[in-house]
Amino acid sequence: MKGTQQSGAPKTAITALEDRLIREYPSSDQASAIVQQRWAETNKEPMDESDTAAWSRYQKEHEKAVMGWIRNYPDDTYLQRYGWFDTILEDDTISEKEGIAALDAHLQSIKDFDPANFWGYFEAAEFLVEHRWQPTRAIQLSRQAAA
């Protein structure tokens, strides 16, 4: 796909090839990447950093899209292991129950697939601190990140 894009092919030709790939290989990593890229192109982040209402709408739409991608692309290891947690990191409206469930799944993925991932533990600790949940656990996760 990248070769076609780099060749200077018209956008319509690239879109037709992408559509064909999505149709013929709907669960592939390439289809997942195309769908995510198209979503990002049609759902731009708000320009005004201080427009909290616009950012909140964008966040919720992005979360809805990610949930769909997690469901539709079960072979996309990033989405399955880390996608949801990475998406809700800065969502200050997520419930504690949902946030902790996402955190626990994230930590289990680190344990199972990437035990040397100090950054994942740091993000987990920061998530707890930012949301003011489980301060003792945040300290423990910070220590795990430093170890």
In total, how many domains does the chain have? 1
Q: Tell me whether residue 134 is in a domain.
A: yes
Question: How would residue 11 be classed by pLDDT, with cut points 50, 70 and 90?
Answer: confident
pLDDT > 90: percent of the chain = 82
Q: Tell me whether residue 56 is in a domain.
A: yes
pLDDT digits 0-9 by tens, 61-97? 999 999 999 999 998 999 999 999 999 998 989 999 9
Cα gap 60→134, rounded to integer Å? 24
Whether the predicted pLDDT of 37 surpasses 90: yes
Q: Quote the domain boundaries for residue 132.
A: 43-146
Question: How would residue 17 be classed by pLDDT, with cut points 50, 70 and 90?
Answer: very high
Cα gap 47→52, rounded to integer Å? 11
Across 113-140, average pLDDT: 94
Contacts of 123 (CB under 8 A, 6+ apart): 85, 89
Q: Tell me whether residue 47 is in a domain.
A: yes
CATH number for the domain spanning 60: value is 1.25.40
Look at the block and give the residue holding tokens 């949301």: 131
Q: Tell me whether residue 20 is in a domain.
A: no
Decide: residue 101, CB within 10 A, 0-12 exposed, 13-18 middle, 19+ buried. Answer: middle
